[in-house]
Amino acid sequence: MAWTFLIIAGLLEIGWPIGLKLGWTDSGLHVLWVAFAILCIIMSGALLLFAQRTIPMGTAYAVWTGIGAAGTFIVGIVAFGDAVSSMRLISAGLIIVGVIGLKFS
């Protein structure tokens, strides 16, 4: 169950940067998006707390941030038109390989 909590926490880590990005635009503050970001931060942290009860802290934190970083990278490219280069893709791939390695070690 701890790994399930950790994966969900990592996915919620993708939500808060999206909420912050959409929460403040040239047209001003969008309160619902900022509230979404805050909710994602709280829920992600709570699930990380539960996961760390059985998963070693260093492993849990690395997986949590890795899922968030790689997921946000992908969302940035797909939804927000962030730049794509071979070096960025290789670097994101290394993060994903690291997360998988920590899961199986």
Reduce the DSSP state of residue 15 to 3 states and report it: helix
* pLDDT for 51: 98
* pLDDT for 102: 85
Q: How does pLDDT run across 10-67, given as a tens digit for each residue?
A: 999 999 999 999 999 999 999 999 999 999 999 999 999 999 999 999 999 999 999 9
Instruction: Tell me which residue range forms the domain holding 70.
Output: 2-104
Q: Are 99 and 62 in contact (CB under 8 A)?
A: yes
25 vs 1, 21, 62, 73, CA distance in Å? 38, 7, 31, 20
Reduce the DSSP state of residue 77 to 3 states and report it: helix
Q: How many domains would you assign to the chain?
A: 1
Q: What pTM did the predictor assign?
A: 0.87
Cβ-count burial of 48 within 10 angstroms (0-12 exposed, 13-18 middle, 19+ buried)?
Answer: buried
The residue with greater pLDDT, 98 or 37, is: 37
Give the contacts of 62 (CB within 8 A, at least 6 positions apart).
Answer: 98, 99, 102
Q: How does pLDDT run across 53-93, given as a tens digit for each residue?
A: 999 999 999 999 999 999 999 999 999 999 999 999 999 99
